[in-house]
Structure 1
Amino acid sequence: MRVAIAGAGAVGRSIATELITGNHDVMLIERDSKQFEPHTVEQAEWVLADACELSSLEDAQLHTCDVVIAATGDDKVNLVVSLLAKTEFAVRRVVARVNSPHNEWLFTEAWGVDVAVSTPRVLAAMVEEAVSIGGLVQLLTLRQGQANLVELTLPEDTELAGTPVRDVDLPRDAALVAILRGGRVIVPQADDPLEGGDELLFVASGNVEGEIRKAFGS
């Protein structure tokens, strides 16, 4: 997969390194010459250009990318990059970094954003997830708010211990996609029993999250 990352700061470089480890082809686009440091991620293709300029993206052949990640520290830049990637280059998947929670409402399909990742929200969710037992924690918003990745940790003394996954009355627009148990990642099957302490990951529309809580007695 070919991925373009706008913004080669600490965040952009870290994302690039992770993607390269996964054998993806990565291009970093950076407009600040002070942050243009190809030696920091040598396996990536580096482009010194302004990702908000259409001509620069054309020269970088953005149309060859499967994914664009707008990862700068400026929300205005990330929105412009997202819009250009989607409308001018028909990039299949656009992921945008949200720096300020006040701007999160802008990162929608109208601006070409498929997935908005709010740094403050993710950090808050990680803290909440670490201390929350029995409560539903929203980890990530998908497809412009049409669905969320949410997590629920079962209490150790849960009454659902031993209950097969098929017997849990989940709402229609929710799917249990993984169970984290003792360092293992389990793709749940119908006959798999739940256990106390299980961390359950769901993909669900926002309007059914209350029904998920009810299904697990929280």
Structure 2
Amino acid sequence: MRVAVAGAGAVGRSIARELVRSNHEVMLVERKLEHVEPESVPDATWVHGDACELSLLEAAELQTYEVVISATGDDKANLVLSLLAKTEFGVRRVVARVNDPRNEWLFDESWGVDVAVSTPRMLASLVEEAVSVGDLVRLMTLRQGNANLVEVTLPDNTPLAGKPVRKFDLPRDSALVTILRGGRVIVPQPDDPLEGGDELLFVASAEVEDDLRRAVGLTP
């Protein structure tokens, strides 16, 4: 897969390294010359210039990339690039970094953003997930806010212990995607029994989260 990453600071370089390790073809675009360090990600294609300039994106043939990641430290630049990528170049998937949580409401499909990643919100969710047992924790928003990745850690004394997955009466617009148990990642099958301490990962719309709480034995 061809992925264009705007912003070659610590965040952008880290993303690029991980993508290269996964055998993706990566282009890094960086405006500040002092941040252009090809030796830091030698297998990526480096472009020096402003990712918000249409002429640069045309020269870089952005339309040939399946994914654009707007990872600069400037929310305005991330929004502009996201909009250009989606509307001018028809990029299928646009992921944008949110630096200031107060701007998160802007990062939606009207600006060409498919997935908005807010580091402060994610860190807060991870902290909440680490200390929350028996409650539903929202980890990430997906697809312009239409669905969320949510987690529930079942308490040791859960009444669901021993019951198979097929006994779940899940609300519409929700799905159990993974069970984390100890060091295992379990793709749930209908007859798999649940255990106390299981971490359940669901994809669900925000409107059914209360129903989902009830389905796993929690009080909304």
Output the TM-score relative to the length of structure 2.
Answer: 0.98
Q: Secondary structure at the match of 1:16?
A: helix
> Is the aligned partner of 1:78 residue 2:95?
no
SS at match of 2:52: coil
The separation in 1 between residues aligned to 2:150 and 2:57, in whole angstroms, is: 35
Aligned pair count? 218
Matches within 5 A, 1:107-118: 107-118=107-118
Letter of the 1:143 partner, please give it: R
User: Who is 2:2 aligned against?
Assistant: 2
CA distance in 2, matches of 1:144, 1:69: 15
Matches within 5 A, 1:1-218: 1-218=1-218
Task: Give the C-alpha shift of residue 168 in structure 1.
Answer: 1.0
In structure 2, C-alpha distance between the alignment counterparts of 1:176 and 1:116, rounded to whole Å? 22
1:59-86 CA distance string (max 9 Å, x none): 1110110000000111000000000000
Instruction: Please give the alpha-carbon distance, in whole angstroms, between the structure 1 residues aligned to 2:143 and 2:86.
Output: 14
1:190 is displaced (CA, Å) by 0.7
Q: Deviations over 1:147-192 (max 9, x none)?
A: 0011110011111001111101110110000000111111101111
Residue 51 of structure 1: CA displacement? 0.3
Alpha-carbon distance in 1 for matches of 2:173, 2:60: 40
- Local SS of the residue matching 1:23: coil
**Deviation sequence 1:100-150 (CA, Å, 0-9, x none):** 111000001000000001111100001001000011111111111000011
- What is the letter of the counterpart of residue 34 of structure 2? K
Aligned mates of 2:140, 2:146 — CA distance in 1: 11
Where does the alignment leave 5 or more consecutive residues of structure 2 unmatched?
A: none
SS in 2 for 1:50: coil
What one-letter code is carried by the residue in structure 1 that aligns with 2:139? L
**What are the superposed Cα offsets for residues 178-217 of structure 1, whole Å, 9 maximum, x if unpaired?**
0001111111011111111000000000000111111112
Taking structure 1 as the reference length, the TM-score comes to 0.99
For 1:193, what is the secondary structure of its paired residue? coil
Q: Distance in 2 between matches of 1:110 and 1:8?
A: 26
The letter of the residue matching 2:192 is D
The ranges of structure 1 where at least 4 consecutive aligned residues each deviate by more than 6 angstroms after the TM superposition are none
What is the rounded CA distance, in whole Å, between the counterparts of 1:185 and 1:49 in structure 2? Answer: 42
Identity %: 73
Letter in structure 2 aligned against 1:169: D
